[in-house]
Copies of this chain bind each other. A is one copy, B any other.
Amino acid sequence: MEVQDPQALERVRQRFLQAAFVIDLGIELLELGPGWADTALLVAPRHYQAERFIHAGVQSTLADHCAGSAAATLMSAEQTVVTVEYKINFLKPAVGARLRCRADVLRPGKTLSVAESKVYVDGQSSPVAVALLTLAVIAAPPAR
Q: What is A's interface to B at a CB cutoff of 8 Å?
A: 15, 18-25, 45-51, 55-58, 60-61, 64-65, 82-92, 106-107, 111-112, 114, 116, 126-127, 130, 132, 134, 136, 141
Nearest-neighbour CB distance to chain B for A81, whole angstroms, equals 11
New A-B contacts (10) at CB < 8 Å, excluding given A25-B57, A57-B57, A89-B107: A19-B48, A19-B50, A20-B49, A21-B48, A24-B47, A57-B60, A87-B87, A91-B106, A106-B127, A111-B136
Distance, CA A106 to CA B128, complexed state (A): 10
Distance, CA A89 to CA B25, complexed state (A): 22
Give chain B residues whose Cβ lies under 8 Å from the Cβ of A21: 46-49, 55, 57-58
Give chain B residues whose Cβ lies under 8 Å from the Cβ of A92: 107
Distance, CA A83 to CA B54, complexed state (A): 12
Nearest-neighbour CB distance to chain B for A27, whole angstroms, equals 9
Cβ B61 vs Cβ A83 within 8 A = no
For A136, give its contact among B61, B82, B112 (CB under 8 Å). Answer: B112
Nearest-neighbour CB distance to chain B for A21, whole angstroms, equals 4
A-B contact pairs, 7 of them (CB 8 A): A18-B50, A19-B55, A25-B57, A57-B64, A57-B65, A89-B132, A91-B114
Given contacts A47-B20, A132-B132, contact A83 B56 (CB under 8 A): yes
